[in-house]
């Protein structure tokens, strides 16, 4: 089937996202209030908009780093094996770390990434995900902070893509394919 024809139905407005990001940042700032520095690690590329907004709301000394894992490519199917394509630049041993992810879907990405980061012995490692699709979970992993729980729909916008498109949408929308 040709998936080039689709429309995007708004699921979460830009305004709702902004309000939620503000409250997440408040909770995270309270939790890490005593930190000397928080290392905020964004998972590329989907979290780039979220991390930019979240980091600016954090009332903490921060360092921003990025990690890139292999993705779904141009398909909506999940690959179970997660490879590190780009590692973080900094050291995290003995440091406070916040991993920022766009969506927790099957959970394989976050599980494998956090297990790998934990081998480097951070002081505290917490996870903040903008979206969670709990019905899709295949492995036991939960974000410590979640923006929104959503149903099993393929979404785009606010950094999240479908075949590299629609990342620049200011809201989250569900992809609906149109049959020819």
Would you give the binding string for Mg ion spanning residues 82-121, x where CB under 5 A is met? ----------------------------------------
Residue 70 CB partners (closer than 8 Å, separation 6+): 79, 81, 82, 83, 85
132 binds ligand IMP (CB under 6 A): no
State in angstroms the smallest separation of the CB of 70 from Mg ion. Answer: 10
157 binds Mg ion (CB under 5 A): no
Among residues 105, 132, 152, 170, the one annotated as catalytic is 105
105 assigned to active site? yes
3-class secondary structure, 70: coil
Nearer to ligand IMP, 29 or 154 (CB): 154
- SS3 string, 46-63, reads CCHHHHHHHHHHCCCCEE
**Nearest of 174, 159, 163, 175 to residue 45 by alpha carbon:** 159
State in angstroms the smallest separation of the CB of 62 from Mg ion. Answer: 21
173 binds Mg ion (CB under 5 A): no
> Interaction with ligand IMP in 137-166: which residues (CB under 6 A)?
154-155, 160
Q: Pick the binder of Mg ion from 42, 46, 157, 173 (CB under 5 A).
A: 46
105 binds ligand IMP (CB under 6 A): yes
Region at 33 (left for phi over 0; alpha for psi -120 to 50; beta for the rest): alpha
Give every strand in the sheet of 84-86, ordered side by side.
84-86, 62-69, 38-44, 96-104, 124-132, 145-149
Catalytic residues: 105
- Residues forming the site for ligand IMP (CB under 6 A): 46, 71-72, 78, 101-109, 154-155, 160
- Residues forming the site for Mg ion (CB under 5 A): 46
């Amino acid at each position: 089937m040709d998936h080039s024809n689709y429309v995007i139905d708004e699921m979460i407005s830009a305004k709702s996202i902004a309000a939620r990001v503000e409250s997440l940042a408040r909770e995270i700032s309270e939790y890490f209030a005593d930190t000397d520095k928080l290392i905020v690690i964004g998972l590329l590329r989907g979290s780039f908009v979220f991390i930019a907004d979240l980091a600016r709301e954090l009332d903490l000394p921060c360092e921003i780093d990025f990690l890139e894992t292999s993705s779904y490519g141009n398909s909506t199917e999940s690959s179970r094996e997660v490879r590190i394509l780009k590692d973080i630049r900094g050291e995290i041993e003995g440091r406070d770390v916040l991993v920022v992810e766009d969506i927790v879907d099957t959970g394989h990405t976050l599980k494998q990434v956090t297990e790998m980061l934990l081998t480097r012995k951070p002081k505290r490692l917490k996870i903040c995900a903008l979206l969670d699709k709990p019905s899709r979970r295949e492995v036991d992993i939960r974000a410590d902070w979640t923006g929104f729980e959503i149903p099993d729909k393929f979404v785009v916008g606010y950094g999240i893509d479908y075949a590299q498109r629609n990342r620049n949408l200011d809201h989250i929308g569900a992809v609906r394919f149109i049959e020819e």
